[in-house]
Structure 1
Amino acid sequence: MLSTVRQSFRQRGLVDGVRWNLWNVFRGKYKPLAEGTVQYAPFLFLDTDELKQHCRRHGECWFYGDAKRYTFDAPDHALPEVRALDGEYVIPQPFVGVAEDARLVGPYPFALLDGKISLDATVTATVTALNLFYTLRDTVEDGPRATLGGGRREFDRAVLLYNCWNSGYYHWVTETLTRLEGVEAYSERTGETPTLVVGPDFGGFQRETLELLGYGPEDWVEWDCAVADVDELVIPSVRRQINRGAISPVAVDWLRERMRPAVRERVDPDQFSERVYISRNDATRRSVSNEDELFAELEARGFERYCLAEMPTAETIALMMQAEIVVGPHGAGLTDILYADDAAVIELCRGEKHSRAYYTLSSQVGLRHRSIPGEIDGADMRADVDAVVEAVETELDQDQLKAA
């Protein structure tokens, strides 16, 4: 802990080091804070059931598709916290709510319906709490006028696709792109396409992924005001019934079916190695401090190293589409395993702290997943090279047996 704090000051300086450490303290508290706020101040929020009721009274609410059952079966080598997820889950039938006379408010906008904040419109209670935190942070840093003094605009019909986590690839894919299934169901039913309200400075992987799904600049508007009045706010349901942070297998299937053919039209997946090592040596944390030592062993076994931040999004998706084994440190670079087929994923973790997100994501698309703890090295990790090599060879042996 102290070594991580010291390293953050060395790398970032005094002011940014203080901010980074305060943020890490907050990160450990915002989920219970968000849940507690919703529980003890229900008069401020509309939960999913209340949203449906509101839309039936002030707009419409309708369902599409079917409810699904999904069984999660963790591998024998998984940690107890992952095995605790074992069981059958019911993924409810998805819905689209249309709320009339809604209002979007704030630099990280909330959707206000009759004076209450819709949690579904900003994904979850956790993201809602983060929107508020970032608003307060920016108000302190930049002043109330700069943060809250934006203009006002109007929309005939819109869907809110902007929140404070949109700059993270995992969150953009799992919490934003998957909701477009509901947007497209709305368009099929009504013949109308709502304006996609996206964040300011919109670009990079956000623009690329929307374009792969068939959207263009004429379909979105960057949020550049403090208040917007919306005649009809379209609110697709959030499908995250497993492990809260995991998207549902139904949403994964929809995204795979839409994205994979679009990527194949632009990129030939066969140009990439089937044995993939994802590097985070461009990141400020959770990089592998002994990466050269680790990659020397992997390279001898046919692996190639890829820095995903340097690649177009279509290429990172194509890379995963044809991968047979993926090794990489925990981070958003593993998100695109959702496009892989029958692959093995070896996730390198910092210390004994394991994320369940990529276990569940791997399971949802039929991948094999192993998590290898590494030694904490400040904000980074030192990989257990022997353990990684052993896991890799186990998976390669399995592939040879299947091919025989």
Structure 2
Amino acid sequence: MKILAVNQFLKITLQIKRYTLKFLRRYQQVKFALRFFRENEILQISSKFHSSHSIHKYSKAEIIRIEPLSQEEDKLNITKQWNYLYGEYTVEQPYYYIASNVRSFPNSFLVRAQDDSYMVWEQLGGRNAVIDEHLTELLPQKLRLLGKDQPTIEVNFGVFLNTRNPNNYFHWLFDGINRLEALDEISINTKNIKYITTFSFTRWQKSILKAFGIKENQCVELNGNVGSFKELLVLSPRRNHFRYSLDNCNWLREKVRSAHKNSEPFLKSPRYSSRFIIGRKLNEGRCILNQDEVLEKLRSYGFQMYYLDELDFLEQYELFNNAEIIISPHGAGLANILFCTKAHVIEIFSDRVLPFYFLLSKTLGLSYSCIQGNIDELSAFNKRPNIYVEINLLLDLIKNSF
């Protein structure tokens, strides 16, 4: 037991060190500015920028209403902490604007005008924000000089696809690619646009871009270099923390539906079961350790198990578009409920109970239930501890779906 405790302590220490270094790397380029300005000050000054630059609004504001779960939907009462999320909220009208002659800082969300007259902070607190000349005059010289000696990539017309967690499927859909909705409102030739990231596109990200009609030669990976933009299209975020836009979700779904329709032959019968469990491998974390036993009990109800990393993007669309009942541990793969037309989502939490997919389900008009698994002691101190599921509790939720 003593050796086990020491091993767990060392593992926690290494994890803290790793995430601390990751945090410092991500924010080292902007930490100087954070010492001087609070977020609300930046946002107040951004209103001055908006009044003097051409800000184009499109679509409309929305009112979304979220109802609490019933006792049948949340048998363990684990969502009582979500009371502040219930009721109506407003999704603000989205906008875009074009910033001329700007340069990006390496490895950050910050871009600045060539003459230092203003800066644009992409996705600050889920919003765009602008720092105008009153603040840039006060910025430390060290911040202004960041990237001065870095290699520069010249771009005539670009748009950033940055997200706070670039390798996460959920954030890529709801904080990155979904902002391209604005392109349908802009009368420009999208073939001339370059899609910019500060990282390297992964294989699955390229497959999503392809589904949206974006070719590989339109993608620019800065990878620590400075981007110099003749014109940079700045798009407002379409998700504010837990708040989703239904109009934006419908736009995303329709884009992918069209891509699937054009790439796949008409199938007389679905390739996948409409009742399924999303499997996770042991090394991914949040794995249901008794998932084989769970599947065996649920086969008589028509359930199959699928691993999403074995399906490409459009296959995942097809799987979820045909779904009737979805059982899944909490994870980015549940972002695919976006593609459901009508389904009951059963989410299984491990240690943390997060409302991302509850709110997405309710925004989309889907049924939602949740339970919390029993955490495996051997992985209890991991970031994503594995779990055991009480099968009878799961069966009760399934029977309520019929």
- 2-side partners of 1:98 and 1:386: how far apart? 56
Contact 1:156 1:232 in 2 (8 A): yes
Instruction: Check conservation: 1:70, 1:90, Cα contact below 8 A.
Output: yes
Distance 2:102 2:112 in 1: 6
Map of 2:340 onto structure 1: 340
Relative to 1, partners in 2 of residues 1:22 and 1:116: Cα closer, same or farther, differing over 3 Å? Answer: farther
Alignment pair present for 1:75 and 2:69: yes
Distance change in 2, residues 1:289/1:43 (3 Å): closer
Task: Provide, for residues 312-348 of structure 1, a one-character-per-residue CA deviation record: whole Å limited to 9, x for no partner.
Answer: 1110111000000000100011110011011000001
CA RMSD of aligned residues (A): 3.5
Larger of the two Rg values belongs to structure: 2
SS where residue 69 of structure 1 aligns? strand
Question: Which residue among 231, 236, 248 is the counterpart of 2:245?
Answer: 248
SS in 2 for 1:389: helix
Deviation per residue, 1:25-64 (Å, 9 max, x gap): 8999xxxxxxx9998742789855644643554x521111
In 2 relative to 1, CA 282–60 (structure 1 residues): closer, same or farther, beyond 3 Å? farther
In structure 1, how many angstroms separate the alpha carbons of the residues matched to 2:369 and 2:4?
Answer: 26
1:169-218 Cα shifts (integer Å, max 9, x gaps): 001001011100123423x2677743110354323221111111111113
| In 2: Cα distance, 1:365 partner to 1:232 partner | 35
Which stretch of structure 1 is more off in the superposition, 95-104 or 170-179?
95-104
Percent identity among equivalent residues?
23
Measured at CA, do residues 234 and 45 of structure 1 come closer, stay the same or move farther in structure 2, by a change above 3 Å?
farther
Contact 1:328–1:347 (CA<8 Å) still a contact in 2?
A: yes
CA deviation string 1:262-286 (max 9, x = no partner): 1233345811100011001254311
Contact kept in structure 1, 2:95 and 2:236, CA below 8 Å: yes
1:73 touches 1:83 (CA, 8 Å); kept in 2? no
| Structure 1 unaligned spans of 5+ | 29-35, 129-146, 398-404
The counterpart of 1:64, out of the listed 58, 69, 74, is: 58
Pick the structure with more helix per residue: 1
Partner-residue secondary structure (3-state), 2:102? strand
Task: Say which SS state the counterpart of residue 265 (structure 1) adopts.
Answer: helix
**In 2, distance between residues paired with 1:195 and 1:52?**
28
2:386 to 376, 380, 385: 380
1:165 equivalent to 2:165? Answer: yes
Counterpart of 1:263 in structure 2 is 260
Q: Report the CA distance shift for 1:71/1:163 in structure 2 as closer, same or farther (over 3 A).
A: closer
The 5-angstrom pairing of residues 105-254 of structure 1 reads 105-113=105-113, 114=116, 118-119=120-121, 121=122, 123-125=123-125, 150-186=150-186, 188=187, 193-241=192-240, 244-254=241-251
Residues 386 and 178 of structure 1: CA distance in aligned 2, closer, same or farther (over 3 Å): same
1:301 counterpart residue number: 301
TM-score by length of 2: 0.78
- In structure 1, what residue type is equivalent to 2:228? D
**Structure-2 residue corresponding to 1:143:** none
